[in-house]
Amino acid sequence: MPSYELALVLRQLPRPELISVIKRTAEAIFDKGGIIRKFENLGTRALPFKVSEHGVVHREATHFTITFDTAPTKLSDLKEEFGRDIDIIRRYIFKVEEPEDYECTLHEEMLPPAYRKDVQELIDIAKRKQKPKYNYNSGLDYYPFQK
Amino acid sequence: MFKLTRILARNATVANLTGARNLRPRLYANAAALNEKEQTLTAANPDEPIDIANPYKKDRQLCILCKHNITPHYKNVKLLSQFQSPYTGRIYGRHITGLCKRKQEDVEKAILRAQHCLMMPGHHKDLDFLHDPKLFDPEKPVRPHKY
């Protein structure tokens, strides 16, 4: 089962109610056969802009993330279920990506165009697309093709 | 320039005397010390060209995120807001940020995610991060503007 991260934006609520919302979402994940790996509270903050959701305008919200494992087929069900919850303003599910080793390509990108690999490929493509041209000084005294 | 040629000339004699053709350009400091010891040996041909690595070769460039091994993440809003214009909230391009292709893509993806999750404003920069240190100067792009 792949790992996913659920980013929740919760309505401004008193603490006991906030706990019940998180419990509800966690149980929804368990019901779909998921495993929870991590809870993360990102705190209560003023939103960057006012958001109207479920008929209410929100200006402050609590950010919360839940990292969990579940089958990819269950994700749409989960999203639908969280979408019906009035206390949840936004819910996004992102796949947790493993950090892969990668080498910086800035040096190659800063080379002059003629030395860059992508430019060289473009030039090759342009060369390949050029039609063969008839050479007029090839000894024939007439043009062998239709004009 | 004159200084460099003089150093090269001195290095040339040493290299020929020792027969060490793979003397690296970084070893110039030791050249004087070696000179005395090698005087006794006879030179094969002092005018012979020497094999050294290109002394004008530039060091490999790394972008600022690759240098510090940072992977942009959507929860790291403080870092991401440094790539955002304080006037319009738009993401600066690669010619301004000086990032490599991959990291720029990652930054853009993370900023969009953060904006969807209501962690980051889209039309201005977060006021808490407005006076953060500047990573680059938009007035002086690494590569020229398209327009």
Averaged pLDDT, B19-31? 46
Which of B100, B101, B113, B143 has the highest number of chain A CBs within 10 A, making it the mutation to test binding with A? B100
- A135 occurs within a structural domain: no
Quick check: B76 pLDDT over 50?
A: yes
Whole-model pTM: value is 0.75
Which of B66, B105, B111, B117 has the highest number of chain A CBs within 10 A, making it the mutation to test binding with A? B117
Quick check: B15 pLDDT over 80?
A: no
Domain containing residue A79: CATH number: 3.30.70.60
* Integer Cα distance of B121 and B103 in angstroms: 21
Residues (pLDDT < 50) of chain A are none
* Distances from the Cα of B110 to the Cα of A41, A61, B92, angstroms: 19, 20, 14
| Architecture, CATH, for domain B64-129 | Irregular (4.10)
Boundaries of domain holding A34: 3-95
Supply the mean pLDDT for chain B. 79
- A84 occurs within a structural domain: yes
- A29 occurs within a structural domain: yes
pLDDT of residue A49: 94
Averaged pLDDT, B69-79? 93
pLDDT of residue B17: 43
- Whether chain A has a CB inside 8 Å of the CB on B102: the answer is yes
- Whether chain B has a CB inside 8 Å of the CB on A31: the answer is no
- A48 occurs within a structural domain: yes
The DSSP line for B22-49 is: T--GGGHHHHHHHHHHHTTSPPS-TTS-
The total number of structural domains in chain A stands at 1
pLDDT of residue A25: 94
User: Residues of CATH 4.10.640.10 domain(s) within chain B?
Assistant: 64-129
pLDDT in tens, B89-136: 999 999 999 999 999 999 999 999 999 999 999 999 999 999 999 999
- A9 occurs within a structural domain: yes
Share of chain B above pLDDT 90, in %: 61
